[in-house]
Amino acid sequence: MSTVDHGQEWCAQAIEDTQVVPSLSVALVSHDGTQPPSLSPLHPRVTGDLSVVRPFDDVVVCYGHHPAADVRELHRTFGPSMPAVLVASRSFDPQDVITAFDHGATSYLVLTQTPEFCLRGAVITTANGESCLSPAAATTLLRHMQPVPATPARTHSSTITPRERQIMELLVTGHTITEIAGHLRLTGKTVRNNLSNIYAKLQVRRQSEAILLWLGHQPQPEPIAVASRQSF
Looking at the structure of the chain, the number of domains it has is 2
Q: Please report which confidence band the pLDDT of residue 35 belongs to, taking 50, 70 and 90 as the band edges.
A: very high
Residue 10 has pLDDT above 50, yes or no: no
* Same structural domain, 161 and 199: yes
Of 98, 126, 143, which one is at a domain's C-terminal end?
143
Does residue 229 belong to any structural domain of this protein?
A: no
* Same structural domain, 90 and 175: no
* Same structural domain, 135 and 156: no
Residues in contact with 100: Cβ distance below 8 Å, sequence separation at least 6, in sequence order:
62, 67, 68, 71, 85, 87, 108
* Same structural domain, 88 and 116: yes
Length of the chain: 232
Of 97, 126, 143, which one is at a domain's C-terminal end?
143
Boundaries of domain holding 100: 3-143
* Same structural domain, 128 and 46: yes
CATH number at residue 138: 3.40.50.2300
Does residue 173 belong to any structural domain of this protein?
A: yes
For 129-174, write each residue's pLDDT tens digit: 888 888 788 878 777 765 544 444 444 556 889 899 888 888 876 6
Residue 41 has pLDDT above 50, yes or no: yes
* Same structural domain, 126 and 172: no
Does residue 85 belong to any structural domain of this protein?
A: yes
- The dihedral region occupied by 64, where left means phi > 0, alpha psi between -120 and 50, and beta the remainder, is left
* Same structural domain, 105 and 209: no
Residue 64 has pLDDT above 80, yes or no: yes
* Same structural domain, 82 and 159: no
Of 89, 120, 143, which one is at a domain's C-terminal end?
143
Contact at 8 Å (CB) between 141 and 107? no
* Same structural domain, 90 and 109: yes
Could you tell me the pTM of the whole model?
0.62
> What pLDDT, on the 0 to 100 scale, is given for residue 228?
35
Does residue 104 belong to any structural domain of this protein?
A: yes
- From 127, 121, 198, select the one nearest 165 (Cα to Cα): 198
* Same structural domain, 129 and 200: no
Mean pLDDT over 100-122 rounds to 88
Q: Please report which confidence band the pLDDT of residue 229 belongs to, taking 50, 70 and 90 as the band edges.
A: very low
Provide the residue type at 132 as one letter: C
C-alpha dihedral sign at 43, 30, 115, 3: negative
